[in-house]
Amino acid sequence: MENFDFGQAIKCLKEGKRVSRKGWNGSGMYAYYVPANSYPATTEIAKKEFGGDLVPYRPYLALKTAQNDIATWNPSTSDCLAEDWFVVE
């Protein structure tokens, strides 16, 4: 499936698929959905706030960057209006 809009990209993300845009300049970039979960506290702030226990995280979107790392991601207006989204196989 190629060349769809952001609404379809969101549906694909929620189905566990990785999506990307033809308009992105970075090689190997894609977005994916991270569902809500709990993780062990690793920072002093989280340990103090949650007593060293699990920290609840809300769902979020993540981006595999051109620098080959992962960042949380908020789509730009251009991303939301684009119609060049595709599923990364």
Q: What is the spatial distance between Cα 37 and Cα 23, in angstroms, rounded to a whole number?
A: 31
Which residue in this structure is represented by tokens 């694909």? 12
Residue 71 has pLDDT above 90, yes or no: yes
Non-local (6+) Cβ contacts of 18 within 8 A are 30, 31, 32, 64, 87, 88
Residue 22 has pLDDT above 80, yes or no: yes
Q: Which carries the bigger pLDDT value, residue 20 or residue 26?
A: 20
pLDDT greater than 90 at residue 25: no
Instruction: Give the pLDDT of residue 82.
Output: 97
Average pLDDT over residues 71-87: 97
Name the pLDDT band for 27 (thresholds 50, 70, 90).
confident
In this predicted model, what pLDDT tens digit does every residue of 35-56 receive, in sequence order?
Answer: 999 999 999 999 999 998 999 9
Residue type, 45: I
